[in-house]
Structure 1
């Protein structure tokens, strides 16, 4: 293997994929059936091989007989839960928050996973939809947004690599989620993440059940909301060691304001092969077809005005009817569509009693259209820097020109493999080393589809062309990237395993290139990034219940590809975005000091953190030819300090409380370069200002109730005000929300195991609030720059918070 490593990247990739496939086939064909029966007889000793929260075998288990891999769901269920499944005991030398399937099952079935994670410590989450059907979602952790986090599902990267958005709603249905883990400020060494300068979110999908069965549920609620979910578990298929589950769901709801109905169709499938003492192999596949009639975002003055007149915010939203030549923002022209496929093949092979190989090949495909409305002047239309003519004889002309839907049509796929080896050198020394390869390709066209007199326009077809046959698209490019990442770590246990010292190193090489077909733009662009990322940590068990840990970590995030490298134009020939292939990657250096206490009654975590960022990029929205697209703003350095705490208890008389809170101090280290009113470069005096979207205080209080056949949960969430401009001259108001869920489990009826009915209320008190910042502003008040120039006032925009929504769910196992 050493000779292979020093060869070309393509040679290394072929060798890895070939070796992975061969190992898995040998394991499946030669020894699997016999080992499976033996492993089932040894299932009673499965606790000897339990893993820590980060997947490493504990020292006491390293030389034990290796049992069959346990079902993840069974492991979580069998453990003592705190705070109704919102807090688990962790021992790794880093801050980890978790959410088990026990807690997930109490929430609204239609909710998105991001909504479920909103109660985790330090999570700043906002949405315009109570049902998780909107793409108007925002999440940040310790002041760093979702594009600065790593996102992993079933061992594969789930991130949309064009934007670094997770679109976690396309991963798995809530009923199939085993648990979710959040690592704020860092990432696991062995995970395939490229954008984790601010943390990592990890989702695990349940294993298929050992016995044949299934689950059905149906939900109905406010705004004509409805959802159906069905799952079938095969159980073990004879003595083959194979089992699988397949599920289907359909969800739909109207927008709470304005026009439009949203829907999502989703399929999950997981096939697992138990290999006995040799390990296990599982194949996970998910498919999503998602349509979202988007809501418009509001300026602060629009929101305040709508609150005063109480018109249910309809005045500021997209238009519900279409009048030719008058309507400039017809809602049908903003209907977002996305299709998504994830395939992950996880393999865990116990080569010896000291050596375990993990190999995960994967595939990710996405097709989307994120459109908007614009007007085209037939006498003044440009493609890039060239003026063109169109034949308008067959087009519907208005006083403003040709109304058109501006399609941001995109297709992308990613393939890769992540492989790492865990080796117990001695009883007290654990070594991990591995390699991750990823290839990603994306193409995007911003074509124009003419609208008829009724406002209708076909998606991704009937594009406008010039009289010479040229496609009218000022955004027409292709990008691809290759990631090669090597990593290694070593953990040494001392003082009878009470002290654990870890040193690790990760090296990422990211090469991105592309071609731009728009006239005037550079035809070819490329960028190469090579980034070392060392880390060290120490954890010491003061007593069996009390632990202290130190963690020093470095992480990186390459520039956002779609808003950094290609050059794009407007319809009048002006440059909308200048490609910047020399943009440096974001780099973070962080430290944590944490304390944990855990006994049979009470669990508490406190973490103090400090982080310094260089080349920080904040992602916001802007408009290109009428369509909202992402924009990355380079800010220089940032310093982040704060403390997070969470406390939970076990159930007392059916009640299990949970509380978390965070204090955050995030400061910009540099002045922001902008153009003044004379089109000269100047700087806003932003050094020392508080970073946008970084509330100083946040807190969540929840209580879970479970007694006999009754269950329920109550959640209170408070988010302090947060700045929406870099000059701190405008902010989003603080808000408080309350969610409530109640339910009842019936006794077995014929083949129906424990039928359940539950009622969920989101935003119980129907608070009217702004949930998150959509468009970040430079300054809301006219400002004098550092060099004396006059810098005009801008504005920020916000997403509306979802109002009260009620949903009833009836379901049963069988």
Structure 2
């Protein structure tokens, strides 16, 4: 074979194969294939096998972990699971602003609707996420196979677990979670974040970012390399971020630390110790109603200057949260056929939320009992502004384990997950000083009743235990082209709640048991083409503590919520049919169907001045739709990406409101736009790089009666960068510019607090049911971020 024919053949095979194509200027790596079985149609001369040295060109990974080899610019890494599944690699993650959370980064993937609340993506407390119309409390969140979302509220505080520079990949399953996943809320999908492994070489990585809204962020990671003959390697990193609110007053700050120690040995045996600490402090942004937005736009904010008696002062709307995360995953190859995975973990969270409210000095209630004359100066008058604080502590230890037995074509897995969760929440009211200063959010010096006890809206504690057992069998047939998998998981959730509020039921609780069978089958038509089908079930216990507590108005003493012990969990049955092709152009297409009972829709309401998370039982729901992804491998440096989803969903029954029912049957569900999609184009020639991505989200309903909705919107982001020359001290230093929300000055990006009906509506039995205005997230305006970084 001539060298020209060999070059042409190698180039053609490269373009058609799953492996990425080499680019000009890449380093060469010689691979000896002499031990592989010779192909009769190649390299056979005079009846004897001739072995050649095949040259494979690969660009080495840059200091930020990018390789420039993933389809779609890092938006379409290869997948082979028998379910709808998408992902992000370092090629995409590293091109984003370092301030973005993983929840914001998956916005390009099919079926995802991200409702941002600030352009820098810094606010985990106020952002929305839905996948196939299911909100973020219905999406399981795993960090290194640990259920990292708070087990009661189920909101994925994804930026609290790792800095972006330490995230290796993000995988999103748009459907039910895997049988063995340690989750009990993933009826709508599973997002899994993986941390990078420590480097074999000693060194590190440093970066700084500056930009709009006085953004200031620094990051430093130090690598130990392999420590002598122990085989242990590790890294530790620290970052700081400060930025002003993009609308309204206030500054947010974040301190974060990541650490990982790791050792690998033998055949697929490894052990790690992972630790992260995150501390954030910021201010809530006002979620406006539609009328407020139409009247004031982005000026619908809390007040920036304090006037005595004003409860809407921004400093009253503060939140602080600190999280410690510790896990020790171990994978052991016990024998040729048996392996064991163990992941013990411990998560501890503490913090407070505060909101401005107005209290009556003589007419307030503590539970259902009159508080008497509150112990505040008489100069405050008959009513005065105060700060309602919600102090909380969350302790969450657990163990996730799986034992695997594999022989030839069959793999049997037995999994067990145990979780213990201790949550306590205590409300207090504190008095600001004459200038509106609040130095007492922890409630150390609360406002007292006439009897000398602290004024409170709730004093609750919840204990939860989860036991989950799973059994999965996977069978490979027809030379591993056909893979069949069947599994069953049994989830048992037990909750016990105590409430010390005067007049409230002292003890309450609930238990849930749910069997979750799954089946899937996939078939490889060719080495690059796969079809799959699956049938799944999902389960979600009610989120929040509100359903299990008696609540009373602090202004009237009337009971506003009756504690329930029969809150029904959500259950889903889903089916998917999909096709994938990997090659120069990768394609993924899937159609899906869901049926829900007791659909739980998360929302937020204000009770006694405190923002409260709760669930609305949306009854039955049916959803059918299709999604797709297209991604091109890097070709002359360019790599485009396209994704989209169509979904048709309906509410299957009328929803109860008081003693009557709203005529919601056949209406469209909230947070479920019919159309959504994304377009991306990346470029990387080794020196210059860039990424453009745009999103479209169709009109979205905010009420179950479909009497209010927000219009569709489109956003676009641009990233540009240049890599400098590597020196003996610096490895691929680079300059990067991120332009976020091009051409946007603010828009309604999603629904914050849903409502049954906006307008007064006649119920099924003839009762007039009063309406309530939903509230919305305001998408951020334009922002620019400049980043300098380098390995060393």
Q: Provide the TM-score with structure 2 as the length reference.
A: 0.90
2:581 match: 597
Asked if 2 retains the 8 angstrom alpha-carbon contact of 1:390 and 1:465, the reply is no
Which of residues 713, 717, 724 in structure 2 aligns to 1:739?
717
Write the mapping of 1:158-177 to structure 2, written as runs, cut at 5 A: 158-177=148-167
Q: Deviations over 1:59-104 (max 9, x none)?
A: xxxxxxxxxxxxx999996794101111122111111100011210
Asked if 2 retains the 8 angstrom alpha-carbon contact of 1:130 and 1:803, the reply is yes
* Cα distance in structure 2, aligned partners of 1:412 and 1:616: 26
CA apart distance, 1:395:
6.5
Asked if 2 retains the 8 angstrom alpha-carbon contact of 1:76 and 1:100, the reply is no
Q: As a proportion of its length, which structure holds more helix?
A: 1
* Cα distance in structure 2, aligned partners of 1:404 and 1:415: 36
Which of residues 611, 629, 632 in structure 2 aligns to 1:649?
632
CA apart distance, 1:252:
1.2
Which of residues 565, 586, 591 in structure 1 aligns to 2:570?
586
1:53 match: none
Are residues 1:508 and 2:498 paired? no
Q: Deviations over 1:679-702 (max 9, x none)?
A: xx1111001100001000001000
The structure 1 segments of at least 4 consecutive aligned residues displaced by more than 4 Å after TM superposition are: 72-80
Asked if 2 retains the 8 angstrom alpha-carbon contact of 1:395 and 1:402, the reply is no
Which of residues 733, 736, 747 in structure 2 aligns to 1:758?
736
Q: Deviations over 1:583-609 (max 9, x none)?
A: 11110100000011112x011100100
CA apart distance, 1:178:
0.5
1:192 match: 182
Are residues 1:410 and 2:400 paired? no
Are residues 1:130 and 2:119 paired? yes
CA apart distance, 1:529:
0.8
1:772 match: 750
Task: Indicate the SS of the match to 2:548.
Answer: coil
* Cα distance in structure 2, aligned partners of 1:771 and 1:152: 25
* Cα distance in structure 1, aligned partners of 2:706 and 2:207: 47
Asked if 2 retains the 8 angstrom alpha-carbon contact of 1:176 and 1:206, the reply is yes
Gaps of 5+ in 1: 1-42, 49-71, 308-312, 676-680
2:679 match: 701
Task: Indicate the SS of the match to 1:636.
Answer: coil
Count of residue pairs brought into register by the alignment: 734
CA apart distance, 1:317:
0.7
Are residues 1:805 and 2:786 paired? no
Write the mapping of 1:153-552 to structure 2, written as runs, cut at 5 A: 153-277=143-267, 279-307=269-297, 313-314=298-299, 316-325=300-309, 327-392=310-375, 394=377, 397-398=380-381, 401-424=383-406, 426-457=407-438, 458-460=440-442, 461-552=444-535
CA apart distance, 1:166:
1.0
* Cα distance in structure 2, aligned partners of 1:590 and 1:74: 42
Task: Indicate the SS of the match to 2:586.
Answer: strand
Asked if 2 retains the 8 angstrom alpha-carbon contact of 1:737 and 1:767, the reply is no
* Cα distance in structure 1, aligned partners of 2:62 and 2:785: 26
Q: Deviations over 1:707-750 (max 9, x none)?
A: 13000000010000100111111101110001000000011134
Asked if 2 retains the 8 angstrom alpha-carbon contact of 1:260 and 1:293, the reply is yes
* Cα distance in structure 2, aligned partners of 1:619 and 1:434: 30
* Cα distance in structure 2, aligned partners of 1:225 and 1:398: 41
1:114 match: 103
Asked if 1 retains the 8 angstrom alpha-carbon contact of 2:179 and 2:518, the reply is no
1:576 match: 560
1:54 match: none
Are residues 1:717 and 2:699 paired? no
586-595 or 774-783: which moved more?
A: 774-783
75-84 or 289-298: which moved more?
A: 75-84
Seen in structure 2, the aligned counterparts of structure 1 residues 393 and 428 have a Cα distance that, compared at 3 Å, is: closer
1:102 match: 91
* Cα distance in structure 1, aligned partners of 2:694 and 2:774: 28
Asked if 1 retains the 8 angstrom alpha-carbon contact of 2:62 and 2:732, the reply is no
CA apart distance, 1:124:
0.5
Task: Indicate the SS of the match to 1:542.
Answer: strand
* Cα distance in structure 1, aligned partners of 2:727 and 2:450: 70
Seen in structure 2, the aligned counterparts of structure 1 residues 429 and 475 have a Cα distance that, compared at 3 Å, is: same
CA RMSD of aligned residues (A): 2.0
CA apart distance, 1:769:
1.1
* Cα distance in structure 2, aligned partners of 1:604 and 1:464: 62
Task: Indicate the SS of the match to 2:545.
Answer: helix
CA apart distance, 1:278:
6.2
Q: Provide the TM-score with structure 1 as the length reference.
A: 0.88
